[in-house]
Amino acid sequence: MDNASLFQCLLRFGDNTLVLGHRISEWCGKAPALEEDIALANTALDLIGQTQMWLGYAAEVEGADRSADDLAMLRDVWDFRNILMVERPNIDFGHTIMRQFLFDAYHHAQLTALSRSSDPRIAEIAAKSVKEATYHLDRSAETVIALGDGTDVSHAKMQNALDLLWPYAGEMFESDDVDAQMAASGIAPDPATLRDAWDLRVRDTLSLATLNIPEDNFAHKGGRTGARHTEHLGHMLTQMQWLQRAYPGAVW
Amino acid sequence: MYAQMIQSTGKGVKSLDEMDPTERAFQERIDAGGKIEPKDWMPAGYRKNLIRQIGQHAHSEIIGQLPEGNWITRAPTLERKAILLAKVQDEAGHGLYLYCAAETLGITRDEMFEALNEGRMKYSSIFNYPTLTWADMGAVGWLVDGAAIMNQVPLQRTSYGPYARAMVRICKEESFHQRQGFDIMMKMCAGSEAQKRMAQDALNRFWYPSLMMFGPSDAESVHSAQSMAWKIKMNTNDELRQKFVDQTVPQAEYLGLTVPDETIKWNDEKGGYDFAEPDWTEFYDVLAGNGPCNHDRLETRKQAWDDGAWVREGMLAHAAKKRTAKVAAE
Ligand SMILES: [Fe+2]
Ligand SMILES: [Fe+2]
């Protein structure tokens, strides 16, 4: 296992939470109900907190005198390693909560495995994060069920969201050289091994939500390798990184 | 303040002798520092006034999310983003506590939202000003939350129990809000020339609107006298404004910023600063809907409310199905 691979692996963790946390934070003040507003802000807050830990560790591993903030604010699109699904736009509450659920179910399985990592620092971050992820998953699953099973309108909107997001789920379970190295040294699970737990949870919840899982398992990919992000990420970065880019070196 | 220009009965305060025994007992309880609870008898005017005041306060908390939410996606560091998110989340929580307090008076949250969306209920004038640079996140925490604290601390002793208890919870969080704002200002003022310029510009734009938060002088107002007799207003607007200026001017000096009022001068005799009144014409313009952001703020809320209708309906429908299933199972 080399440091460059560990660095890539940590970017994948940290960029997922950074990008999704950012997306969720776009809801501030605009959610369908006050309780949802608070819950979304809470999720965003947890994810940004996790980002600080993952990217903080990534920066140490890289040893190039960069901080977590440098990694978040000064990398361009091709250096981001998040899956495509989390950079997808919010569209509406249905898409937001469906994306959240599909991610939470994965995140929960991933963090559970990571809490047994052979790297004590990763195990520690994961153990802390998995408590938050458990709560996120309970809440997003509950909301998906309620809206899937709610009115005809809410059902149709949730089905639509699922259909649109499904092709972005497969990337979560892709493996490459980096994953093989991590798995071999017991640092992180091979993502493919998380699929069964995820499938079980997702099928169970979506059936309670009376939603149909699309049959086509085609998967868009290119986010976690950085090979090809969506057009959306660049726009997100123009906001997220604007102050740091406009006033280089300033202390905030 | 977060509740401005609340009109009470306007007939002047009755003396105890003019009251019937029920009202007299009510007033005596308040005079003795007792609390009024939702099930207690209360004059219709007290109830009406409180609904307006608490409702306006609640609306201010949630509309107040918007000018700060405007910068969450542009926060310069992960830590700043997290702090701002936590702060704005607190404000939503404040809204929730306050709507719950108002609901104990016989109005629903949805009714209040609708009144807000239709312009029948107001929110604080301050949130109709734009947040244009990152320094505005500093200025809002420092000045706007600072002004809010001036008003909310005494309201912890207000006569209506649920309102007073909401205020206790809210005040616990407000000092963090002000501190994070001041901390942003400190960083900006110790930073580059551009950052210092941003900080001064933010103070220039937020100083007078912050003074307006307390509302025009009400020393002579009968409305205000009634609210004070009922202890739903604890100080006059001028008292609170003076306190705010006295606290804030030295803080601005500490930051190396100039308060945009050439007339500001320490007055030994009164033990406070003399300062210029804000432009009250501007204040009334903002209240009338002509502030720089009135239209956008309300549109954002309405849009959120309308866009969220299918979600609220879906959740209600699901909850109803669950109840039916439960009854059927029993
Ligand atoms: Fe507040
Ligand atoms: Fe606040």
User: Secondary structure of chain A: what % helix, strand, coil (to 5)?
Assistant: 70, 0, 30
What values do phi and psi take at B250, rounded to 5?
-65, -30
Pick the CATH number of A3-218+229-246 from 1.20.1270.360, 2.40.50.100, 1.20.1260.10, 1.10.3720.10: 1.20.1260.10
Q: Which helix (H) or strand (E) holds B175?
A: helix B161-189
Chain A: residue whose CA lies nearest to B188 = A252
Residue of B318, B322, B324 best to disrupt the A interface, most CBs of A under 10 A = B318
Handedness of CA B148, B150, B156, B157 (dihedral sign): negative
What residues of B are in contact with residue A48 (Cβ under 8 Å)? 78, 81-82, 85
**B101-139: pLDDT as tens digits:** 999 999 999 999 999 999 999 999 999 999 999 999 999
Q: Which helix (H) or strand (E) holds A147?
A: helix A120-148
Q: What count of residues does chain A have? A: 252
Q: Where are the alpha helices (DSSP H) in B269-308?
A: 280-285, 294-307
What residues of A are in contact with residue B181 (Cβ under 8 Å)? none
Q: Could you tell me which of A92, A183, A246, A188 has the C-alpha nearest to residue B310? A: A92
Largest CA distance in chain A: 54
Neighbours of B205 (CB within 10 A): 20
For chain B, say whether A211 makes contact (Cβ under 8 Å).
no
Tell me if the domain spanning B16-291 has CATH number 1.20.1260.10. yes
For chain B, say whether A68 makes contact (Cβ under 8 Å).
yes
* Chain B: closest CA distance from residue A89 (Å): 14
What residues of B are in contact with residue A150 (Cβ under 8 Å)? 313-318
pTM, entire model: 0.95
pLDDT score for B42 = 97
Q: Which protein residues have a CB closer than 5 Å to ligand 1 (ion)?
A: B 61, 91, 94
Residue of A19, A27, A34 best to disrupt the B interface, most CBs of B under 10 A = A34
Q: Do A69 and B300 touch (CB under 8 A)?
A: no
Distance (Å, rounded) from C-alpha B76 to C-alpha A244?
6
Q: Which helix (H) or strand (E) holds B272?
A: strand B272-274
Distance (Å, rounded) from C-alpha B176 to C-alpha A230?
38
> What does pLDDT average to in each consecutive run of 10 residues of chain A (252 residues)?
93 98 97 97 98 98 97 98 98 98 98 98 98 98 98 98 98 96 97 97 98 96 97 98 97 96
pLDDT score for B10 = 58
Q: Which helix (H) or strand (E) holds B267?
A: strand B265-267
pLDDT score for B7 = 67
ipTM of the complex in this document: 0.97
Could you say which of B78, B109, B194 has the minimum Cβ distance to residue A69? B78
- Kindly give the distance from the C-alpha atom of residue A37 to the centroid of ligand 2, in angstroms, as a whole number: 16
Contact predicate A173/A223, CB 8 Å: no
Domain ranges of chain B: 16-291
Does the pLDDT value for residue B97 go beyond 80? yes
Does the pLDDT value for residue B185 go beyond 80? yes
Determine the 3-state secondary structure of A211 from DSSP.
coil
pLDDT score for B299 = 97
